[in-house]
Each structure stands twice: as structure tokens, then as C-alpha cells.
Amino acid sequence: MSESVIGPAMEYATVRPFEARRGSLIRTGWRLGPDAILSSLTRAAAVLVMLMLAVLVAVLTHASLLSIHQFGARFLVSSEWRPNELPAGPKKDKSGNVIVDEDGNTVMEMIPPSFGALPVIFGTAVSSVLALLFAVPLSFGAALFLVRISPRFLAGPVSFLVEFLAAIPSIAYGMWGLFVLGPFLQARVEQGCRWLYDASGHPSAFHWLFRESTHLGTRAVITRELPLSGHDMLCGGLVLAIMIVPIITAIGRDVLKSVPRAQVEGTVALGATWWQSSREMLRYSRAGLFGAVMLGLARAAGETMAVTMVIGNNNEIRASLFAPAQTMSSLLANEFAEASTDLHRSALSEVALILLAMSLLFNVIARYLVVGKNSRSAAAH
């Protein structure tokens, strides 16, 4: 595992012949010939790619400065998302009289807009974890099938189909979730749960699943029945699960394939059953599999269109899976184009920055695990 984070160790061991001979008979000076032009062009392109990431981070940070200054760390823990001013009551002067403008209207004291990302961070976390709960067992099962069970003539087409599932655009899953899965969940699953809840003897235990409470400030609490619309956290999690199954399956398959044959043969020779040797395979490649899960998580957390279409877009924290929710990306998709104040847009940019930081973190961890694992197994051969 001491090799570079970036790629299999093998890549660096290969030295191309003309580069090994640098400084010998072949001249590699900076004359303005095709050689110099091509090498500087390609180098410039590579530098440009590195700049792209720097620009992305810099631009988002710059755009969210206003919000960072205004809210600081409170942005991460506040659950209030209110782009508009709220009237707090009549404005009074020092002596306690209500101020009236020229037209005779009462001047109101306004509460300034306030932004906090906690509800969307919560929504992203819950919907992603929900997606992983559904997707990881399915994907690992399918990966094992492709590596250990499937006959060769079946493995190719099945792999292609699973990969095609990954190529279907997000908006198509969104349409499907909106018009097919959502109504199905509403009519069957949610009404079914509701029926069970009503029929069971201890309804209070599952109260939270069907009720929502609204806190106005810190005072009033309104509790009402959830509408059970089918477009909610559960639907979002399920659509996300379908979308990340291909990526986890494909990477899991590659990781399992790289388990040295001797490792599997050894367990079988010792008398292991099919599952015991499979479990040994899973254990051997656990780092790579974890990397695959992280990549799936990164995709789920950043997924936008499908989630926006099915999750209900309610910017509040609710305990129930049957309540509409909001993720970071769906918040951006819904509000960014319509944001009218600089502060609102800046707060949205800060949400995007958090999203970017999160996906970078997941990706870096995943690459480290998947690549590190592969290079070890490559060295073992």
C-alpha cells in the first residue's frame, strides 16, 4: 500500500524508450519544431485541467463569501431557510410610539432573511444512506454473480445491461420516479403502512411516521397528518438506489476479479463451501469494495435531477420517511435560477461549496482504496 495514491505501481515502472534516452544522442532541446509545439501544447492542456479544479473551488468560495461572513459556522447548524424578510411587529421609536410613514401606514420592524443548511445536509445524508441500504446488498450480490456464478456467455451481456443502467440520464429516472414509482408508493406502500398502523393495537409507537410538527419560531407547534403523496424521502432514496447500483456493481466486479486465484483456490482446497470462499473473497477485497461504496455514495450525494423530481422539495427536517424532504442538489436546482438577492445566491453557492467538498472527500477516499487495492493485487501476481 506504500505506492502512490494515483495509479497502479506498474504504470511508473514502465519507462518509454525515448524518455530513457533523454540527454543522449537524441536532441530534446527547446527548438520551435513540431516536437516542442506538441509537448508544450499537451503540457498546457494538463496544466489547464489542474486549473479547472482550482477555478471551481475559487469561484465557489468567492461566490459564497457574503454568506460565510454573514452566518459563519451557524450556517451548518441552523435549520432556518428563509429568503424573505418577515414582519416582526410595528416599529417603535424611543418613546414607544408606533412609527407611521407619510401615507399613514405603520412601519414594520423586519426580521432579516436567514439561511441555514442543516435541513438539506440532513436530506442529502438520509437519502444517500437510504440508497446505500438498498443498493449495496443488491450490488455486491450481482458482483459476486458476475465473478463467480455467471457462465462466460452470460457475464458480458449482463455487464453491458448493468452499465447501460448507468448511462440512462438522471432525468429519465426522475420521470419514472415521478409518474410510476411515486404513485405506486403512495397507493400501495404508504397506504399499506397506514392501514397496518391504524389496525395495530399500539398506534402511538409509529406516530412519528405519519405526523409532522411545525415549529414557528420557538413557540407554536402545529401537528398535522402527513399528506402521503408518494413523493418523499423514501421515493428519493429508492430512485437514488437504482441509480447507484450500476456503479457499485461495476467497480465491485472489477475489485473481486482482482482477487488472486490462489486465494480462492486455497479456501476451496481447505474444504470451504461456496459461500465461505465467497466471504473470504469479500473480506480480502474489503478495501476496494468500500471504495466502490464510497463512489456510489458520492454519486448519490451529488445526484440532482431525479431527486429534485421525486423528493417533494420541502426544506424542513422531518423524522418520517414519508415526509417530503430536500437535498443540497435539489435545493440548488429549485432555487438558484430564481434567487433574487445577493445573499440568497451566496447562501446557495455555499451549499454548492459544501456539496463539492463532500464529493471531493468521498472521491479521494474511494480512489485511494480502489487503486491502492488494485496495485497490491497487481504486485501479487
Partner 1 sequence: MEHPIHNVVTRTYSRVMFAVCVAFTVAILGILALVTAYLLSIGASSLSWDFFTRLPIPRGMDGYPGGMANALLGTVILIALASTVGIPVGMLTGIYLSEYSANSMIAAPTRFICDVLNGVPSIVVGILGYEFVVRPLNHFSGYAGAVALAFIMVPIVARTTEEMLRLVPNSYREASIALGATKARTILKVVLPAATGSVITGIMLAIARVAGETAPLLFTALGSALMTVNPSSPFPALTLQVYEHSRSPEPAQQKLAWAGILVLIALIFVLNLGIRFFARSVQTRTAR
Residues 197-256 touching partner 1, rule: CB under 8 A, are 242, 245, 249
* Residue whose CB is less far from partner 1, 86 or 149: 149
* Residue whose CB is less far from partner 1, 173 or 210: 173
Determine the Cα–Cα distance for residues 201 and 299; give it in Å rounded to an integer. 41
| Candidate residues 149, 205, 262, 269; the one interacting with partner 1 per rule CB under 8 A | 149
First-last CA distance in the chain: 15
Residue given cell 412609527 in the structure block: 99
Q: Give the type of residue at 344.
A: H
Q: What track of x and - describes contact with partner 1 for positions 300 through 329 (by CB under 8 A)? A: -xxxxx---x-------------------x
Residue given cell 435545493 in the structure block: 331
Determine the Cα–Cα distance for residues 349 and 79; give it in Å rounded to an integer. 17
For the segment 124-143, give every residue that binds partner 1 (CB under 8 A): 137-142
| Candidate residues 231, 299, 318, 373; the one interacting with partner 1 per rule CB under 8 A | 299
Stretch that binds partner 1, among 46-54, 69-77, 185-193, 285-293 (CB under 8 A): 46-54
Q: How far is the CB of 333 from partner 1 (least distance, A)?
A: 6
CA distances from 78 to 72, 84, 115, 133, 349 (A): 11, 16, 7, 28, 16
Q: How far is the CB of 216 from partner 1 (least distance, A)?
A: 29
CA distances from 188 to 65, 74, 184 (A): 47, 41, 6
* Residue whose CB is less far from partner 1, 33 or 87: 33
> Could you tell me if 322 and 238 are in contact, meaning their C-beta atoms sit under 8 angstroms apart?
no
* Residue whose CB is less far from partner 1, 134 or 197: 134
Q: How many residues does the chain have?
A: 381
Q: What are 23's three cell numbers? A: 540527454
| Candidate residues 103, 218, 222, 275; the one interacting with partner 1 per rule CB under 8 A | 275
Q: Is 5 near partner 1 (CB under 8 A)? A: yes
Q: What are 216's three cell numbers? A: 414557528
Q: What track of x and - describes contact with partner 1 for positions 74 through 113 (by CB under 8 A)? A: ----------------------------------------
Q: Is 182 near partner 1 (CB under 8 A)? A: no
> Could you tell me if 224 and 212 are in contact, meaning their C-beta atoms sit under 8 angstroms apart?
yes
Q: What are 102's three cell numbers? A: 407619510
